[in-house]
Amino acid sequence: MVFGILRKKPTSSEEVEEYIEIVPEETEKEKKIYVRVEKIKDEMDVIRVQKYLREGFIVFASIKEVKNRDLSELKRIIAKLKKTIIAMGGDMVGAGEDFLVLTPNFARVYRGMPEPKS
């Protein structure tokens, strides 16, 4: 057998030889990216969304309820979220009229190809 040739059994007078087993490197496990779907109804929900962003989640947030109720509160909420996104180097974009997509620093929202300069 091949293993018998590579590994010699020590006799009582010989010292035990050390050997290194060569094993193929384990493939790096891919890190999964999670998307959270959240409803933002008031400023307390903003704190929760900020926490998820800091933990590395991509957040798809519904703002419909607060938009229909109070536009000034919606502006405050968006300003808080924008401040967090800028501080952490993430991205934020409106998706339709009722949703926001917020990403941490490792992800960007695709906005289409830039137009070539003429």
pLDDT in tens, 23-54: 655 555 667 889 999 999 998 999 999 999 99
Residue 100: CB atoms within 10 A of its CB come to: 22
User: The domain at 35-103 falls in which architecture?
Assistant: 2-Layer Sandwich (3.30)
pLDDT in tens, 83-97: 999 999 999 999 989
Domain ranges of the chain: 35-103
pLDDT of 2 > 60? The answer is: no
CA within 13 Å, CB half, 95: 15
Calculate the average pLDDT of the chain: 83
